[in-house]
A and B are shown apart, each in its own frame.
Chain A
Amino acid sequence: MAFALGMGLSILAFLALLAGAGPQVLAGRVVAWSVPWMPSAGVNLSLYIDGLAWFFGLLVSGIGALVFTYASAYMHGAERVNRFFWYLLLFMVSMLGLVLSGNLILLFVFWELTTVSSYLLIGFNYERPEARAGAQRSLVVTVVGGLGLLAAFVLVLLATGSLEVADLLADPAALRGHPSYGAILALLAFGAFTKSAQFPFHVWLPGAMEAPTPVSAYLHSATMVKAGVFLLARFLPLLGGTLPWLLVVGLTGVATMLAGAYLALSQRNLKAFLAYTTIGQLGVLTGLLGLGTLPAVVAAMAQTLNHALYKGALFMIAGNVEHGTGTRDLGRLGGLARRGMPRTAATALVVALSMAGLPPLLGFVSKELILEAAFGPGAHGWASAVFVLGLGLNGALNLAAAVVLAWDLFFRRSRVTPPHQPHEPGRAMAAPPAVLAAGVLGFGLAPALAERVLQPAVAAVAARPAGFHLELWHGFTAELAVGLLVIASGLVAYRYLALLVAPARVWPPALQPIGWYEALVGAVERGTRRLNDLVQHRPLRHHLTVVLLAAAGFLWVTLFLHWRVLPWGQWSPVGPEFVVVAAVVVAGALATTLLRTGLGAILSLGVVGYMVSLMYVILQAPDLALTQLLIETLTVVLFVAVFAFLPRAALRWAGSGYGSRGADLAAAGLVGAGAAALALLAVTEPVFPRISDYFVANSLELAGGKNVVNVILVDFRGLDTMGEITVLAIAAAGVFALLRLGKRGSQG
């Protein structure tokens, strides 16, 4: 059911975009649609299909249909297949929603949905600890990035007053000149970098290969990691073209393209190998968008298309290889073309050539564009040098990686034997990568077709009608010469591969990028455990001390902030009777604490209670005085009654504390002083206007009572008194149950 829904929806979305929105978008218009959701907050359910959204939407839905086809065979007979397709459906719909959103909050919601659904998919085989760890890592990194993105969007709202993409694009200069431009750029880039696995936030992407292979094919080609690229492209017209943008986005891209391409070559697991090449290519895309010139945007869009097609195909081929041989260990794979997988080998050859950037494939076209952008009119001379070096090195390393994938895996003579006798996959698993291979070949042979698809996207990102022309053959240009140099260096890199990756193999784990993540998460875990040990995880009395001291601490802060309001030297007059009563209360409280005999302590508590009732008299509260008198009598009777049942030795024992007496005294002193401070503030400054006037004014008229306190209790706040009686009833039931339990216990 989920499969049929996903398949149908992806094809439907693809056709709707192609036929429905296509003519409009190709003509340079925007398809927009909006219904209010929370208009007061500027949040609407908006659809905004310009060239960029259209291009990404086609990728998401088109590759989605292929992934669903592939997965139907790949997941055949697996457990929880239906759940898998629901997750995949959610993943696809979230990504489609993300690229088509016309409102930033809506975009954020879909952004987070891709995080959640990818988490579910990566952890799909949750029996495996690696899958759980990979899923958790992806969740932590991308959720933290998502929070940054939300903060960026809030700042955008504060700066421009709108969350609508259409409004923002209508006034592209508004954000660039705004004081919070720096903060918006930093937060937005953080969100995009975590999602698109940019260095040093790429740590989650290799772990994501724990997902079933169809998911990897989708996640690496058209979804998830492309969300960050999409976001950067969306905001390039709003935030780009400045030096901070060039430094932040561009240099991060350069670092990522080098790290990813280099680390890929040191991997021995086929899927990890592919994952790191993805990181490298994401670096290329980010770097190009960071450069932000028109040729760079053209190159970025062309390479997005190229990478989506070839990387989706390569992951599907990796799945087919694993399916056919039983392993994805590169050390146990080789010469598969002659060993029963010729058709897969042919597909792999085509896409690997496109990955390497060789003619006559789409990869060649986009590589020429990339080199053109690197040599083109950059913002600064040094930036141009950095980009030429970075992109050139990445191209060379990427070519070496492509040679490993095509030559080593399929064509080179090899003596290693895979676990199974290799065999070709079924049609449903062979066809989708073949379609993608046909794509890179078709677009390569007919660049005009690619130009037609990319034109609106480039126009949207560059924020102007883009006049560019794609051709397979540019003639003998400088780019061609540099391209040949890149190819030659790539072949040299491949020749000395073992030497090249040796440093990456012996690199200490602590210095590996994944090390910082583990260290950070480990530190957070240890820190929280230590904090927990400090305030909890001890006997009850320890908790009590912590709670009381924390409360006292807050009181002290309050006093510190407000001590000026105290009427120093202008205290209200105090009668001698109050002083006497107060002195007796203090003496009684100290006696309760210090007397060694139990009976003495209980009688002292009784003295305190009676004296407090006298205080109520002085404070003009006769009802309280009466109640206190009665209750105190009952309490003393109760204590004495319980005494009759207690062993005498136990009562005579004053009882030491848990810790040292000095520490307990200090805690008691701090709490007491804090309480005194609060009382002083409370009695001198009634902060809130009295709400009691209402009761005094209406007591007689509405309730027919003259004693206002009583009227409040039984009439105005009658339900509270009901609750009070309920508490008493529960306490009585508890007392009764405990006494009964005691009887039964002694009998048994």
Chain B
Amino acid sequence: MELVLALVIGVLFGTGTFLMLRRNLIRVVLGLGLLSHGANLMLMAGAGVPRGRAPILGAGAGAVVDPLPQALVLTAIVIGFGVTAFLLVLAYRHIATFGDVDVLGTPMDPAPARVQARAAADGERTVAGRAASRPAGAPGGGGDFR
């Protein structure tokens, strides 16, 4: 059981990390969702392999599992939802401001020249072209924000 649980947690962390390194903001949010699942299961793993029943008194005899990680995870699930909602709307704002979901080339993530060149060579939308089409004075368009 330990190995299976560890494998699941590892996959969730790995895929979550990979998605969070994407340029597509929606995928970054998806990645955070996977990472949250992994972190929650990690907390549950801290309780060890379940040797007992659910921590509800009077529902049976014998030992119960550790209730504390469950309380922590319950909080984490709810907060994770709040963060996901906020990030989704943030991504939406990004799209409304910059015209697409690509984070590269925005003030928060200035693209080095070589990445821009490769993006242009790949036939993807270039950052320079997008910057030119951006309306002047659009919110969040301040180039000196770092």
Contact = CB atoms under 8 A, between A and B. Distances in A.
Nearest to B10: A676
B101 A624 contact: no
Given A572-B2, A602-B30, A673-B10, A678 B42 contact: yes
A673 B17 CA distance: 11
A734 B86 contact: yes
A635 B32 CA distance: 12
A675 B101 contact: no
A360 interface: no
Contact of A671 (B17, B22, B44, B115): B17
Given A635-B81, A638-B84, A672-B11, A544 B21 contact: yes
Given A585-B8, A592-B15, A676-B7, A731 B86 contact: yes
A653 B104 CA distance: 14
A671 B14 CA distance: 6
B27 A601 contact: yes
Nearest to B9: A679
A585 B16 CA distance: 13
Contacts of A593: 15, 18-19
Contacts of A609: 33, 37
B129 interface: no
B57 interface: yes
A680 B2 contact: yes
Contact of A624 (B24, B70, B83, B96): B70
Interface string B85-111: 110111111011101111110001111
A619 interface: yes
B69 to A, nearest CB: 8
Given A545-B21, A589-B34, A634-B81, A621 B54 contact: yes
B109 A539 contact: yes
A621 B71 CA distance: 10
A708 B56 contact: yes
B1 to A, nearest CB: 4
Contacts of A659: 115
Contacts of B45: 679, 682-683
Contact of A658 (B17, B21, B138): B21
A667 B89 contact: no
A582 B74 contact: no
B21 A690 contact: no
Contact of A621 (B13, B70, B122): B70
A706 B53 CA distance: 13
Nearest to A737: B89
B56 A651 contact: no
Interface in A731-748: 731-732, 734-735, 738-739, 741-742, 745-746
A709 B55 CA distance: 7
Nearest to B104: A658
Given A709-B71, A731-B83, A734-B86, A676 B110 contact: no
Interface in A666-718: 667-669, 671-680, 682-684, 686, 690-692, 695-696, 699-700, 706-709, 712-713, 717
A598 interface: yes
Contacts of A545: 21
Interface string A602-636: 10010011001001101111111001100100110
A56 B88 CA distance: 71
A477 interface: no
A574 B1 contact: yes
Given A646-B101, A647-B100, A742-B92, A675 B3 contact: no
B14 A624 contact: no
Contact of B20 (A544, A618, A665, A709): A544
B58 interface: yes
A579 B1 CA distance: 8
B49 to A, nearest CB: 5
B139 interface: yes
B124 interface: yes
B50 interface: yes
Contact of B78 (A655, A682, A728): A728
Interface in A167-205: none
A745 B21 contact: no
B92 A548 contact: no
Interface stretch (A118-126, A505-513, A719-727): A719-727
A683 B23 contact: no
A631 B38 CA distance: 16
A657 B103 CA distance: 10
A654 interface: yes
B45 to A, nearest CB: 4
Nearest to B115: A658
Contact of B73 (A578, A624, A675): A624
A642 B5 CA distance: 33
B74 A676 contact: no
B26 A724 contact: no
B5 A638 contact: no
Contacts of B92: 642, 645-646, 738, 742
Nearest to A695: B67
Contact of A664 (B18, B75, B77, B102): B18
A543 to B, nearest CB: 10
A39 interface: no
Given A696-B64, A708-B55, A708-B57, A639 B74 contact: no
Q: Which of A544, A657, A659, A706 neighbours the largest number of chain B CB atoms within 10 Å of its CB?
A: A657
B143 interface: no
Contact of B15 (A589, A627, A696): A589
A580 B54 CA distance: 21
Contacts of A526: none
A646 B2 contact: no
Contacts of B1: 571-574, 578
A616 B18 contact: no
A650 interface: yes
A586 interface: yes
A602 B29 CA distance: 10
B75 A724 contact: yes
A606 to B, nearest CB: 10
B17 A745 contact: no
Nearest to A591: B15
B117 to A, nearest CB: 14
A545 B9 CA distance: 19
20 contacts: A540-B108, A545-B21, A578-B1, A590-B15, A619-B47, A619-B65, A639-B88, A651-B101, A656-B122, A665-B18, A679-B45, A690-B66, A696-B67, A706-B56, A708-B55, A708-B56, A724-B75, A727-B82, A728-B78, A746-B96
Q: Across the A-B interface, give the 4 residue pairs with the lowest CB-CB distance, nearest first.
A: A672-B14, A655-B24, A676-B10, A675-B13
Interface of A: 539-541, 544-545, 548, 571-574, 578-579, 582, 585-586, 589-590, 592-593, 598, 601-602, 605, 608-609, 612, 615-616, 618-624, 627-628, 631, 634-635, 638-639, 642, 645-647, 649-651, 653-659, 664-665, 667-669, 671-680, 682-684, 686, 690-692, 695-696, 699-700, 706-709, 712-713, 717, 720-721, 724, 727-728, 730-732, 734-735, 738-739, 741-742, 745-746
Given A645-B92, A655-B23, A708-B56, 15 more contacts: A539-B108, A586-B8, A615-B41, A623-B70, A650-B26, A655-B22, A672-B12, A673-B14, A679-B9, A683-B48, A686-B48, A706-B57, A720-B75, A731-B86, A745-B97
